[in-house]
Structure 1
Amino acid sequence: MKITVMGQGYIGLPTAITLSGAGFEVCGFDVNQKTIEQLQSGKIHIVEPGLQLAFDEAVAGGHLHFSSELAPSDVFYIAVPTPFYQDDSGAHKADLKYVESAGRMAGKLLKPENLVILESTVPPRTSEMLARVLSEESGIDMDKIHVAHCPERVIPGNMMFELKNNDRIVGARTPEAAEMAAAIYKKVLEKGVVHKTDDLTAEMCKLTENTFRDVNIAYANELSIICDKMGIDVFELIKLANCHPRVNILTPGVGVGGHCIAVDPWFIYEQFPEEAKVIHASRVRNENKPRFVAEKVIGSLAKVTDTVGVLGLSYKPDVDDMRESPSLELCQILKEKGVNFIACDPFAPYGDLNGISNVSFDEILEKADYLVITLGHTLFKDNKELIAKKPFYDCVGLMEK
């Protein structure tokens, strides 16, 4: 069986490597020629523990290759970005142009017996849209096209384990598509279980998982703001509350980032604005947290000319993924308010990073008068004593005993 994975980003590349390791013939496809050339040269373009080694083994095994030209395949995986945008009224809308474009490309090569698997996280009824696009391009009746939605369930930093061990949801438009997709995942999974359902339920399931976490984090972030007014250590409070056997409050931070948790709730709210009140309130709370942190930092500076050092720019510890990072939003707010600041993120290139000066850890300790801890990178955890020599604001509880 030949599988083509369309999109070689944070999800597509690890997926292609994992499928190859399970014995499938895999082509990693991407429209970005530079990405393909780098992969063909033997180097991956994202930071992920164990990924380069798995990549080397897959390529050496002869089952994985890369191309910027789409060719016929038994199975087409679509793993492309699904960002959101704000329309003229400020409403958040899902941008599905990459999914549609991938569908139209695959549709030109599609045969009735082929399977199309959509891994990208999408709003409800996107699988139906994809089937329609595939039908338009292929001439195959829409109801006879095999489309399955199998949303990814991995987290950067642990992808290679979770791709093989997390349960997978297979939502399909036809019984045949469900069986075809389930057979693939059963060959990949080592411990995880395949759960079959319809495509609409699968779409909503992924959004539900990430929205649950967004609401939980919003509660933690709201507690941090309330505790700030009361002079209470929010991290101690949450630790004590979580001693209750039925309480599990997550950790507050500078906000919520990443392509999933910061985006997926909007996909629900877009279609159900009158019903999704709690979801909307949580999203607004988390989006406003960087501004709260900025105001706290500015109010804590000894002098307006002090230099602020932001420790962390990615959206989560020990990864290079900066999509929807609240730390970047914090930097932009500091810039708007005329605050002198520099940043340190060991997973990003040093130098100018979209108008942000990213420096080494030694340099930020030397030049910053005040530190803001936005992430628990291992580098920062290992050097808490050095950080403690400066005045600091801890967003994530890194300095807690």
Structure 2
Amino acid sequence: MTTQRSASTTISVIGLGYIGLPAAAMFASRKVKVIGVDVNQHAIDTINQGKIHIVEPELDMIVHAAVSEGFLRATNMPEPADAFLIAVPTPFKADHEPDESYVLAASQSIAPVLKKGDVVILESTSPVGTTEKMVEMLAAARPDLKFPTSAQSTDMDVHIAYCPERVLPGHVVRELVQNDRIIGGITQDCSQKAIDVYRIFVEGELLVTDARTAEMSKLTENSFRDVNIAFANELSLICDKLGINVWELIKLANHHPRVNILQPGCGVGGHCIAVDPWFIVNKTPAEARIVKMAREVNDHKPEWVQQKVHEAVEELVTADKSLEQIKIGCLGLAFKPNIDDLRESPALEITLALGKKYRGQVTAVEPNIQELPSRFEGTQIKLGQLANTVKNSDVLVVLVDHKEFIEIQPEIQATQRLVDTKGIW
């Protein structure tokens, strides 16, 4: 069972994206005052209207209720609170070097409003040592306050912890409540303060460790997934060359009681699995050999998919049909099924690459968005309807297994070619 702090407690969530907004909503649903902070004015305005700017089941109802009842409010500047959760992006720069600028900028933004007794929790997936950098930056910005400088610190005004999110898009509301959480305080007292915050709504077990181990744990979880997906993706390449149905092969192999092979796809996307392993490689390049190779396998898969499309197009070029007449339908832009999240999406990158090569010949179908992102401007790629795209495309490329695609099960004509990266048709 959860426990609840007094209604006077105020929590500030910095970053109102796919993780920050659901977290803010869950605190607010427990009748706790929440101040959400973001630099995106559209997101702020949307939330303050009781609506959401992302696709996540059940979240719209929770946000609407929280805003209507006065427990959730969004703004563009941090305000005083009792606990601050930082949930901003941590992408990488050139050569896969981690970009911690968003985390440090968010930390800098809350420094002026910190006071004695506050708790600061970093949730953003981060390279090992980022929480310590955040402490150093805050201490420099607020010399009037005492911060934990080591695990042995006992005299502090502000408590700092690293507590990574570990939720599945499309199931965030349920998993935020039910999943176990890692609580990585700079000190034991910091961990306890963070536990007090999360116990407002978390029903899962709260596992206490130090900040560096908590940071590495999140990277390890996502790298584990990445390595296993890489095995499935590599199998798909091998099976294609040997004329074997990879999905049948995996289904058969998984009947072994100690085998559980994941499903291949067009690559690996999202802000976590496609990014986090590089944080390990960046810190320990000589040791992280398997992690690095898995990343390379998964990063190569979109190129392989594009090559399969090129081959399909070449098959259709005849005396009666020129290259310029062939229409390509790309089904899915999100990085996983049934969400609108396009971050690090291999499906999106494949579609963009095909659109640049086959100008004016590519139609994208993505049921979870209303318009194509700005990156598509000038590409002549159209956002189309599913039925028309399936009917009118010469080459169909299944990139994401959205429920809408699974449900129709179309009959592929002899004049069409199918590149199905998910094995649903």
**Displacement after TM superposition at 1:387 (Å):** 5.4
Distance 1:127 1:388 in 2: 56
Matched, 1:114 2:118: yes
Matched, 1:288 2:296: no
The one of 351, 375, 395 equivalent to 2:421 is 395
Q: Which moved more, 1:341-350 or 1:124-133?
A: 341-350
Q: Would the aligned equivalents of 2:399 and 2:420 in 1 still touch at CA under 8 Å?
A: yes
- Deviation at 1:367? 2.6
- 1:330 maps to what in 2? 350
How big is each residue's C-alpha offset from its partner over 1:261-309, in whole Å with a ceiling of 9 and x where there is no partner?
A: 0000011101111111111111011011011011112112212342111
The aligned length equals 394
Matched, 1:27 2:35: yes
Give 3-state SS (helix, strand or coil) of 1:66's partner. strand
- Bigger drift between 306-315 and 355-364 goes to 355-364
Match for residue 132 of structure 1? Answer: 136
Question: Per the alignment, do residues 332 and 34 of structure 1 end up closer, same or farther by CA in structure 2, a change over 3 Å counting?
Answer: closer
How far apart are the structure 2 equivalents of 1:34 and 1:394? 36
- Could you tell me how far 1:337 is from its partner in structure 2? 3.7
Distance 1:110 1:350 in 2: 40
CA distance, structure 2, for counterparts of residue 282 and residue 34 of structure 1: 37
The question of whether the paired residues in 1 share the 8 Å contact of 2:20 and 2:87 is answered with yes
State the match for 1:348 in structure 2. Answer: 369
Structure 1 residue runs without a partner (length 5+): none
Residue of structure 2 equivalent to 1:222: 234
Change (3 A) 1:256 1:359: same
- Structure 2 Cα separation of the partners of residues 4 and 169 of structure 1: 20
Aligned counterparts, 1:167-246, within 5 A: 167-190=180-203, 192-246=204-258
Cα distance in structure 1, aligned partners of 2:134 and 2:388: 50
Alignment of 1:262-301 (within 5 A): 262-301=274-313
Does the Cα contact within 8 Å between 1:151 and 1:203 map onto a contact in 2? yes
Residue in 2 that maps onto 1:369: 394
2:50/2:68 contact within 8 Å kept: no
After superposition, the Cα gap between the structure-2 partners of 1:8 and 1:351, relative to the gap in structure 1 and judged at 3 Å, is: closer
Does 1:146 find its partner at 2:159?
yes
Query: Separation in 2 of the partners of 1:337 and 1:369?
Result: 16
- Sequence identity percentage: 44
What does residue 151 of structure 2 align with?
Answer: none
Does the aligned pair in 2 maintain the 1:8–1:29 contact within 8 Å? yes
Amino acid at match of 2:162: H
Q: Secondary structure at the match of 1:62?
A: coil
Aligned-partner residue type, residue 313 of structure 1: L
Q: 1:65 to 1:352 in 2, by over 3 A?
A: closer
Matched residue type, 1:159: V
1:323-364 deviation line (CA, Å, top 9, x unaligned) = 000011212332354473221111122467613322111231
Contact 1:371/1:393 (8 A) holds in 2: yes
1:12 aligns with 2:12: no
Max radius of gyration: which structure? 2
Q: Give runs of aligned pairs for residues 42-57 of structure 1, distance below 5 A.
A: 42-57=50-65
Shift of 1:33: 2.4
SS at match of 1:77: strand
Match of 1:334, as an amino acid?
L
SS in 2 for 1:379: helix
Report the CA distance between 1:23 and its aligned residue: 2.9
Q: Which moved more, 1:140-149 or 1:45-54?
A: 140-149
Task: Supply the distance in 2 between the matched residues of 1:338 and 1:107 (Cα, whole angstroms).
Answer: 50
SS of equivalent to 1:310 = strand
Letter in 2 for 1:361: L
1:360 equivalent among 364, 381, 385: 385
Deviation at 1:21, TM superposition (A): 1.4
Which residue of structure 2 lines up, in the alignment, with residue 317 of structure 1? 337
Pick from 61, 77, 87: which aligns with 2:69? Answer: 61
Instruction: Give the 3-state SS of the residue equivalent to 1:147 in structure 2.
Output: strand
Looking at structure 1, the residues matched to 53 and 403 of structure 2 have their Cα atoms a distance apart, in angstroms, of 22
CA distance in 1, matches of 2:422, 2:42: 37
Contact conserved, 1:16 with 1:26, CA < 8 A, in 2? yes
2:363 aligned partner, one-letter code: I
1:87-106 mapped onto 2 (5 Å cutoff): 91-106=95-110
